[in-house]
Amino acid sequence: MSSNSIHLADNLEFLSGVDNASVNLIYIDPPFNTGVKQSMTSLKTVRDDQGDRTGFGGNRYRTERGDSKSYLDSFDDYMGFLAPRMEEARRVLADDGSLFLHVDQRESHYCKVLLDQIFGRDSFMNEIIWAYDYGGRSKRKWPAKHDTIFWYSVDPKNYTFNAEAIDRIPYMAPSLVGKEKAARGKVPTDVWWQTIVPTNGKERTGYPTQKPLAILERIVKVHSNPGELVLDFFAGSGTTGVAAAKNDRQFVLADANPEAVQVQAKRLAEYEPECVGFTPDALII
């Protein structure tokens, strides 16, 4: 398994070829088992005097629809699907390594029990809540606006946690803490407030369920060291690889979706990753 590589492969088969204790950090964002097809169509705004909308300075624009990217998010036995992959994740992690599993409220409680069985309950370190505020509001129940990220260490007494690398956030009531503390900001808790990837932002790839780079950079900087290896075997749009590469870590990404690995290859092209099982083709994106 080469560092700085992208693999088009079934992740269970791929993991079987990874050496024991060779990975320092794993972050995975598997399908959430919603039972529906996840899809997104990219949009592009183009300057056009006859366009259908008016922008800054009174200029006219039109909106063009791009390619649609999708995957089927449905499993009859979700825990049966995850279990062998989590067992392999535990095997390939280094003695001081950590796993971050990103799921939603539909499956999180089952995933916690599964990880307790595989890693041991003492290896459970944190349940991180990623809270965001975007999208519709149900009128029949409290709107679901958070995901869960479980952090498990291989050894609860020996793991990487670079406290000095934590990005600070503003105080909610800065006048209560004084100017010096307010200027420095505070350390986040296990509830991370972070917007989703903006629809028209530069970060957006058009890939469904893309996660914000800020979330992944926080995990990578705090839970790994420069030069170490970060693995994501549900790599999707490749955000884990970008976070690793930007912060001088090595990355290995794997995904069974041909659309996903093409997105990854395009995003990480400047780092010249080895592409295994496919040929990068920017025309597909």
**Nearest partner of 238 among 271, 193, 283, judged by Cα:** 271
Residues 81, 156: Cα–Cα separation, whole Å: 26
pLDDT at 75: 53
pLDDT at 137: 87
State the pTM of this model: 0.82
Mean pLDDT per segment of 10 residues, for the chain of length 285 residues?
Answer: 92 96 97 45 51 50 44 63 96 98 92 97 98 87 94 98 97 92 96 85 77 96 98 97 98 96 96 96 51
Task: Report if residue 254 sits inside a domain.
Answer: yes
pLDDT at 62: 47
Task: Report if residue 244 sits inside a domain.
Answer: yes
Q: Please give the structure tokens belonging to residue 16.
A: 């079987």
Range of the domain at 273: 5-280
pLDDT at 1: 76
Backbone angles phi, psi at 28, to 5 degrees: -135, 145
Residues 92, 1: Cα–Cα separation, whole Å: 12
H/E element, 216: helix 213-223
Task: Report if residue 285 sits inside a domain.
Answer: no
pLDDT at 63: 41
pLDDT at 203: 84
Question: The domain that contains 182 carries what CATH number?
Answer: 3.40.50.150
**Nearest partner of 3 among 210, 19, 12, 13, judged by Cα:** 19
* Lookup result for tokens 């296990």: 190
Task: Report if residue 91 sits inside a domain.
Answer: yes
Task: Report if residue 89 sits inside a domain.
Answer: yes
Count of C-beta atoms within a 10 Å radius of residue 24: 22
pLDDT at 241: 98
pLDDT at 237: 94
pLDDT at 196: 85
- Tally of domains in the chain: 1
